[in-house]
Structure 1
Amino acid sequence: MILQYLKQEFEQETNSTRKLLQAVPEKDLNYKPSEISWTMGQLAQHIATIYYWYVGTLTKDVYDMAADHLERGDVNDIKATLALFESNVEKARAALESLTQDDLQNNWTMKVGEKVVLGPMPRGIVARGFLFNHIYHHRGEMIVYLRATGNKVPGLYGPTYEESL
């Protein structure tokens, strides 16, 4: 039952993420709120990249990020980031569809080379925290970036302030 809910949430939230990324204007891709922050383009690309991580997280018991070489493209090209997002969503969806309820119970570990950086912990916990919640966190950041640059924020859970004007 939980797996079915995760799949439904994935589809609903992917649509919201798409709307948010489509709202990112090319003219503001270099904006960053502080010296230590990512640019808007880097943040958009990171959000698109998280969907790629579904594959290693949902299909491998040990995911070594150092051994996984994702091509990301130009952070200053929002069309390329949107294409990356769509490609990664398809891969994520396939990985999610390959799961069984029992797979959610299996332990999963993330490594970078020989260093363990997350886990071991049940894959279901990782799916919620490292994948789903991670995206939501960065979408919240993107909303702040959009508002700080005077751009409209699309409604993700109902109308936004900008849409009510």
Structure 2
Amino acid sequence: MIKKALLGEFLHEAENTRKILKAIPNNALDWKPSEKNWTTAQLASHIAEVYNWYEGTFNQDVFDMGSYQYDKGDVSKAENIVAKFEENVAKAQNVLENSDENNYFNEWKMEMNGNVIFPPTQKIQVIRGFLFNHLYHHRGELVVYLRSNGNKVPGLYGPTADDKF
């Protein structure tokens, strides 16, 4: 029952993520709001990469970021980021569909080279917070990036100022 609810949200929100990633024009990829921020390409790549964390979250009790291999792919074109998203979201959907609800309340933690960087927490909280909400946060940032450059923003939860009524 929990899996069915998570999967429904996952599928709906993956479509929203797809819409926002497809709205990125190539001429916006190098833009960033300040020296402290990522570029649009880096932020979009990170959004696509979150879907690659499902395996380590659902199927492991310890996710070691020290041994994790981040493959951002070629971020020189927006279509490449979308392709990486499509690859990762398909894998994530498979992991979620094949997950065992009996493990959702197991303790999970993230480490980096033996140091705990995400304390022991029930997997269901990690799924909601680390995988889902974390992604929504970065998508919101991406909306601001796009809007700040005068780009159109697709409606994710209803129409935007770019939509005609």
TM-score, normalization by structure 1: 0.96
Structure number having the greater helix percentage:
1
The 5 A counterparts of 1:150-165 are 150-164=150-164
| Paired position in structure 2 for 1:75 | 75
How many residues are aligned here? 165
The 5 A counterparts of 1:4-153 are 4-153=4-153
Q: Cα offset for 1:57? A: 0.7
| Residues in 2 aligned to 1:164 and 1:111: alpha-carbon distance in whole angstroms | 48
Deviates more, 1:24-33 or 1:74-83: 74-83
| Residues in 1 aligned to 2:61 and 2:43: alpha-carbon distance in whole angstroms | 28
* Secondary structure at 2:66 match in 1: helix
Q: CA RMSD in A?
A: 1.1
Mapped contact 2:32–2:145 kept (Cα < 8 A): yes
Stretches of structure 2 lacking an aligned partner (at least 5 in a row): none
Amino acid of the structure 2 residue aligned with 1:103:
N
Amino acid of the structure 2 residue aligned with 1:10:
F
| Residues in 2 aligned to 1:64 and 1:14: alpha-carbon distance in whole angstroms | 25
Deviations 1:127-146 (A, max 9, x none): 00000000000000000001
* Secondary structure at 1:109 match in 2: strand
Moved over 6 A (4+): none
Mapped contact 2:109–2:120 kept (Cα < 8 A): yes
| Residues in 2 aligned to 1:154 and 1:120: alpha-carbon distance in whole angstroms | 37
Q: Cα offset for 1:100? A: 2.0
Amino acid of the structure 1 residue aligned with 2:47:
I
Q: Cα offset for 1:66? A: 1.5
TM-score, normalization by structure 2: 0.96
